[in-house]
C-alpha cells in the first residue's frame, strides 16, 4: 500500500478545563429541560436574603428564573421574597441599617407592580432567632402542599398566589404537587463551598428535595461551585443555571453607600422604595440601630 492511500487519523482533540465545564453546563441544562418537560411541574419560586434594600436586580433575578422554567415547559404559579430576621445582623453588620419592619415594607413596595411576586414576612417577623434557609423552605412547602388541595391558611395568604392556578383533575389519584425552588445568584451558590456556612443536611435537602435556580453574574462561575461540591455535584440535575446576558452589577451594598453619600440611586431601585428610604431617612447615618418592634 502506498503512502498516498494511507488513512491518517486527525490529531486527538485536547479538552481544557473550561471545555469540561462547558460540557457540564450543557449536560445540566439539557437534563433539566427533559425532566421538566416530561413531568409538567408546577413551581413556586422563593428568594431569601436581607433585601437591604431590595433592588431591581433582586426582581430581575426572579423574572429570569421564571422565564427559564417556562421555556423548558414548567408552570410557575408564583414567587415570593423572604427578608431575613433582624438577628442575622450577627453575621451581616450592615443589616442594622434597616430593621425587618422597614425591609418588609420596602419589599412590599418593590413588588407592588408585579402580578406574580409577593413578600413573605414569616421569617422576618418570628419572635425567635433567625431561621436557617432549609427550615424557611420547610415552612413554605407545608403551606404550598395545603394550597395544592385548595386549603389556604390565613397565615400564608399574603404570599400565596391570589388566584388558584392549579388545574383540577378529578380523575387523578393524587393532586399534582407544587415544587418549591430557591432563586439565588452565583455568589450565593459559592457559599456552599465555604467551610461552616452550611450544615450538610441542610445543603442536601435544598439541593435534592427543593432545587435551585442560579442566576449567573459576571465574575462568578456557578459550574465551578457545582463541580467543587460533592452535594451540589450529586444533585446537579436539580440545579438550573440561568445566564444573565445583560450585565448588571447592582448590589444593596452599593445602594446603601450611595445613599449615605447623598448620591442618586434612582433607576437602580424601584421608585416607591427610593421614596420610602428618603422619607424614613434610612442608610444616612452609619450608626443606625435596629428598630425594636
Predicted confidence at residue 154, as pLDDT, reads: 76
pLDDT, mean of residues 59-75: 96
Residue 8, pLDDT > 50, answer no
**Dihedral angle sign, alpha carbons of residues 44, 47, 51, 56:** negative
Res. 247 pLDDT band, cuts 50 70 90 = confident
Predicted confidence at residue 192, as pLDDT, reads: 96
Predicted confidence at residue 256, as pLDDT, reads: 95
Q: What is the pTM of this model?
A: 0.81
Predicted confidence at residue 18, as pLDDT, reads: 54
- Render 90-148 in DSSP notation, one character per residue: GT-GGGGGS-HHHHHHHHHHHTTT-SSEEE--HHHH-SSS---HHHHHHHHHHHHHHHH
Predicted confidence at residue 87, as pLDDT, reads: 87
At 222-235, the pLDDT tens digits run 999 999 999 999 99
Residue 177, pLDDT > 80, answer yes
CATH, range 19-249: 3.40.50.620
Residue 165, pLDDT > 80, answer no
Residue 211, pLDDT > 90, answer yes
pLDDT, mean of residues 141-159: 85
C-beta separation of 186 from 216 below 8 A: yes
Phi, psi of 20 (to 5 degrees): -60, -40
pLDDT, mean of residues 54-65: 97
- Break the chain into its structural domains and give their ranges: 19-249
Amino acid at each position: 500500500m502506498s503512502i498516498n492511500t494511507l488513512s491518517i487519523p486527525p490529531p486527538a482533540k485536547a479538552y481544557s478545563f473550561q471545555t469540561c465545564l462547558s460540557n457540564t453546563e450543557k449536560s445540566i441544562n439539557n437534563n433539566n429541560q427533559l425532566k421538566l418537560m416530561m413531568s409538567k411541574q408546577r413551581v413556586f419560586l422563593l428568594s431569601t436574603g436581607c433585601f437591604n434594600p431590595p433592588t431591581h436586580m433582586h426582581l430581575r433575578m426572579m423574572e429570569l428564573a421564571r422565564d427559564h422554567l417556562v421555556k423548558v415547559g414548567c408552570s410557575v404559579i408564583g414567587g415570593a421574597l423572604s427578608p431575613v430576621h433582624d438577628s442575622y445582623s450577627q453575621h451581616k453588620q450592615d443589616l442594622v441599617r434597616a430593621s425587618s419592619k422597614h425591609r418588609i415594607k420596602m419589599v412590599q413596595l418593590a413588588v407592588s407592580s408585579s402580578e406574580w411576586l409577593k413578600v413573605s414576612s414569616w421569617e422576618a417577623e418570628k419572635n425567635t432567632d433567625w431561621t436557617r434557609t432549609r427550615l424557611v423552605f420547610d415552612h413554605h412547602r407545608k403551606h404550598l402542599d395545603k394550597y395544592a388541595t385548595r386549603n389556604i391558611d390565613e397565615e400564608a395568604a399574603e404570599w400565596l398566589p391570589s388566584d388558584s392556578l392549579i388545574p383540577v383533575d378529578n380523575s387523578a389519584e393524587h393532586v399534582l404537587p407544587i415544587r418549591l425552588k430557591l432563586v439565588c445568584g452565583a455568589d450565593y451558590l459559592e457559599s456552599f463551598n465555604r467551610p461552616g456556612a452550611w450544615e450538610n443536611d441542610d445543603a442536601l435537602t435544598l439541593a435534592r428535595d427543593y432545587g435551585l435556580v442560579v442566576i449567573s453574574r459576571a465574575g462568578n462561575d456557578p459550574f465551578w461551585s457545582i463541580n467543587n461540591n460533592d452535594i451540589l455535584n450529586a444533585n446537579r440535575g436539580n440545579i438550573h443555571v440561568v445566564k444573565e446576558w445583560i450585565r448588571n452589577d447592582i448590589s444593596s451594598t452599593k445602594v446603601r453607600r450611595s445613599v449615605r453619600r447623598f448620591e442618586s440611586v434612582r433607576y437602580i431601585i424601584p421608585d416607591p422604595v427610593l421614596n420610602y428610604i428618603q422619607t424614613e431617612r434610612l442608610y444616612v447615618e452609619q450608626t443606625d440601630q435596629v428598630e425594636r418592634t
